[in-house]
Amino acid sequence: MSKRENIFGSFKYAAAGIGDAIKSEPNFRVHIIIGIVAIILASILQFRGVEWAVLFLTEAFVIAMELINTVLEEIVDIISPEKKEKARIAKDVSAAFVLMSAFAAIAVGIVLFLPKIFQFLSV
């Protein structure tokens, strides 16, 4: 993107990147689906402001990690199309970003959702 393009051009490129990730990355689609389910459940459980903020930040973190993982894997494939040990390590560590963020999201989900679910079921 050139510096002359307006802010809407930036959004167009970002949307195209998200579209590419949705089309090409099955794990990205899984994270999106889980995020949508979490939002629906949070609506049913009547999350409050801070809970919504934590939920959205957590979801954005996981999705951002998945996007970073995709970028790094693509770069490694361009730089090293043949199989090399260092390329494998780079890709595996990049995948570990996502795994660690997913574990953190699960922990946040437990803290946010379990008390609400117990309260919902006891009513």
For residue range 55-72, what is the model confidence (pLDDT) as tens digits?
999 999 999 999 999 999
pTM: 0.85
**Per-residue pLDDT, 10:** 85
Is position 1 within any domain?
A: no
Taking residues 11-40, report their average pLDDT.
95
The question of whether 25 is a catalytic residue gets the answer no
Is position 2 within any domain?
A: no
CB 113 within 8 A of CB 41: yes
Distance CA 61, CA 24 (A): 20
- Ordered DSSP codes for 15-56: HHHHHHHHHH-HHHHHHHHHHHHHHHHHHHTT--HHHHHHHH
Tokens at residue 94, please? Answer: 């990049």
CA dist 55 → 18, 62, 109, 113 (Å): 20, 11, 8, 10
φ and ψ of 118, to 5 deg: -60, -40
Is position 116 within any domain?
A: yes
| pLDDT of residue 13 exceeding 70 | yes
Instruction: Point out the catalytic residue in the list 5, 51, 59, 66.
Output: 66
**Per-residue pLDDT, 94:** 95
**Could you report how far apart the first and last alpha carbons of the chain are, in Å?**
54
| pLDDT of residue 79 exceeding 90 | yes
Is position 22 within any domain?
A: yes
| pLDDT of residue 49 exceeding 60 | yes
Q: How many domains does the chain have?
A: 1
Taking residues 77-98, report their average pLDDT.
94
Question: Which residue range is the domain that position 41 belongs to?
Answer: 7-122
| pLDDT of residue 2 exceeding 80 | no
> What CATH code is carried by the domain that includes residue 105?
1.10.287.3610
CB 55 within 8 A of CB 71: no
